[in-house]
């Protein structure tokens, strides 16, 4: 009897609850449907943006992408007298963050803006035997790009502001996968100083002796790029202060190989703060489907006769070459190996040269957009009436992109 009463009571309670839920659901059905529809729209929006690095802006007509990377390394140096171990930011690809905003003005025309800054604590461009700590918490952002642009499918691209001149990066084409460890720009030891035979340190940095003479660099300029036709494109820019340049680029890719080539001419004859009259620079890089790859980079300056370097008989030139191999040794990503050689002549004075030899290895970690790398390079400097100890630089580090 007791069990029957409990069952009846439970049934009554269940029926009442069901009846109440029917009433609630009936009353809130339209509201719930609106919520579901709204949530579905938000989910679809999030899915469409997944992996694109986009964030919301004040206008739904503007796309904003935030990206960048952090690149840190341990630098080991032997200058023939002393050894050093430094925690550095690798200037081959400095730590940075960028913001790219774009809006479609028409089906063919995009207007965009780019803001990119770098934050280097103990940059390899500044670190040397006399300056072992260039970033002790006082490092500040420095500009790389602050520009707007208009990109038209048929008429090309117009840039205005701080950014790449047409001739910038022309010396630095590289398909080896090891440029973080070393490349045409010897950024991993750029700030280092050679020792004289008596043990004293010379005042000229490695970068000043081995520059890859890479065009007009980044500057405040107006630049125009033609559309690509048959793999060819051309660009020209007018730089604040009177310099100008022109560059041609070519790219080709099929199942068997990937080829890139570039050549530039720049004129700084009217730029008062430059001792360079004109510059020619270029590079060629190739990657075969077998994994073998190589590059050649060159540059040469014609100096103004009134400058100090011209008075010292300087006639700057730079030659850099690299041979490499890329393969898959694990599931993380490509593993790359390379050896390189450079010959930098008369960049500061007559009959002076620096030779460099090196070995590099890099490993992709594809799932995390990261790379780990190692490189070791030796630099030998000769000049009339002087003797210098060789510099050996080892660099082991990692870069993660976001």
- Distances, alpha carbon 215 to alpha carbons 8, 146, 268, 335, 381, in Å: 91, 19, 10, 31, 24
Of 341, 330, 397, 317, the C-alpha closest to 365 is 330
Tens digit of pLDDT for each residue in 230-260? 999 999 999 999 999 999 999 999 999 999 9
In this predicted structure, what is the pLDDT of residue 144? 97
Of 394, 308, 398, the C-alpha closest to 350 is 308
First and final CA of the chain: distance in angstroms?
A: 71
Q: Which helix (H) or strand (E) holds 220?
A: strand 218-225
Give the largest CA-CA distance in the chain: 118
Residue 135 phi, psi dihedral angles, 5° rounding = -145, 95
Strands (E) located in 275-352: 276-288, 292-303, 317-328, 334-345
Average pLDDT of each block of 10 consecutive residues along the chain (402 residues)? Answer: 42 41 47 60 55 62 96 98 96 97 97 97 95 68 96 98 98 98 97 96 97 98 98 98 98 97 98 96 98 98 97 98 98 98 98 98 97 98 96 98 96
In this predicted structure, what is the pLDDT of residue 39? 56
Measured CA to CA, the distance from residue 151 to residue 163 in angstroms comes to 15
- As beta bridge partners, residue 237 has 223, 245
Measured CA to CA, the distance from residue 29 to residue 43 in angstroms comes to 21
Task: Look up the CATH number of domain 62-401.
Answer: 2.40.160.10
Of 106, 114, 18, the C-alpha closest to 64 is 114
Give the DSSP letter of residue 231. T
Measured CA to CA, the distance from residue 221 to residue 164 in angstroms comes to 8
Measured CA to CA, the distance from residue 387 to residue 380 in angstroms comes to 10
Q: Which helix (H) or strand (E) holds 355?
A: strand 353-365
Q: Record the pTM.
A: 0.84
Residue 213: Cβ within 10 Å count: 24
SS3 of residue 79 by DSSP: coil
Q: Which helix (H) or strand (E) holds 32?
A: helix 2-49
The residues spanned by each domain of the chain are 62-401
- CB under 8 Å to 8, separation ≥6 — which residues? none
Measured CA to CA, the distance from residue 224 to residue 91 in angstroms comes to 28
Let me know how long the chain is: 402
In this predicted structure, what is the pLDDT of residue 6? 40
């Amino acid at each position: 009897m007791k069990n029957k009463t409990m069952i009846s009571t439970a049934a009554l309670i269940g029926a009442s609850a069901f009846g109440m839920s029917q009433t609630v659901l009936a009353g809130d059905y339209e509201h719930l449907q609106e919520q579901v529809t709204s949530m579905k729209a938000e989910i679809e929006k999030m899915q469409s943006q997944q992996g694109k690095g986009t964030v919301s802006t004040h206008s739904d007509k503007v796309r904003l992408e935030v990206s960048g990377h952090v690149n840190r390394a341990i630098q080991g140096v032997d200058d023939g007298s002393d050894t050093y171990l430094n925690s550095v930011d690798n200037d081959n690809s400095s730590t940075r963050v960028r913001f790219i905003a774009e809006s479609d003005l028409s089906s063919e025309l995009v207007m965009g803006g780019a803001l990119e800054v770098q934050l280097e604590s103990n940059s390899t461009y500044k670190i040397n035997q006399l300056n072992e700590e260039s970033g002790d918490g006082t490092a500040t952002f420095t500009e790389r790009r602050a520009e707007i642009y208009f990109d038209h499918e048929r008429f090309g691209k117009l840039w205005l502001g701080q950014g790449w001149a047409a001739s910038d990066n022309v010396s630095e084409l590289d398909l080896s996968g090891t440029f973080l460890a070393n490349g045409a720009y010897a950024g991993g030891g750029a700030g280092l100083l050679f020792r004289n035979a008596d043990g004293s340190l010379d005042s000229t940095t490695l970068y000043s002796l081995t520059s890859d003479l890479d065009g007009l660099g980044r500057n405040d300029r107006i630049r125009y790029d033609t559309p690509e036709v048959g793999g060819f494109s051309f660009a020209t820019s007018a730089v604040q202060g009177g310099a100008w340049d022109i560059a041609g680029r070519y790219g080709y890719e099929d199942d068997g190989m990937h080829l890139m080539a570039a050549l530039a001419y720049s004129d700084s004859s009217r730029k008062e703060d430059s001792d360079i009259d004109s510059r020619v620079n270029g590079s060629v890089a190739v990657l075969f489907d077998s994994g073998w790859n190589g590059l050649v980079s060159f540059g040469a300056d014609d100096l103004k006769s009134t400058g100090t370097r011209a008075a010292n008989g300087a006639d700057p030139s730079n030659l850099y070459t690299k041979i490499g191999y890329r393969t898959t040794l694990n599931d993380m990503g490509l593993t790359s190996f390379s050896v390189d050689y450079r010959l930098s002549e008369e960049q500061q004075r007559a009959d002076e040269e620096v030779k460099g030899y090196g070995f590099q290895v890099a490993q992709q970690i594809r799932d995390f957009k990261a790379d780990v790398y190692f490189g070791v390079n030796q630099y030998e400097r000769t000049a009339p009436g002087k003797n210098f100890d060789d510099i050996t630089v080892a660099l082991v580090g990692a870069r993660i992109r976001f």
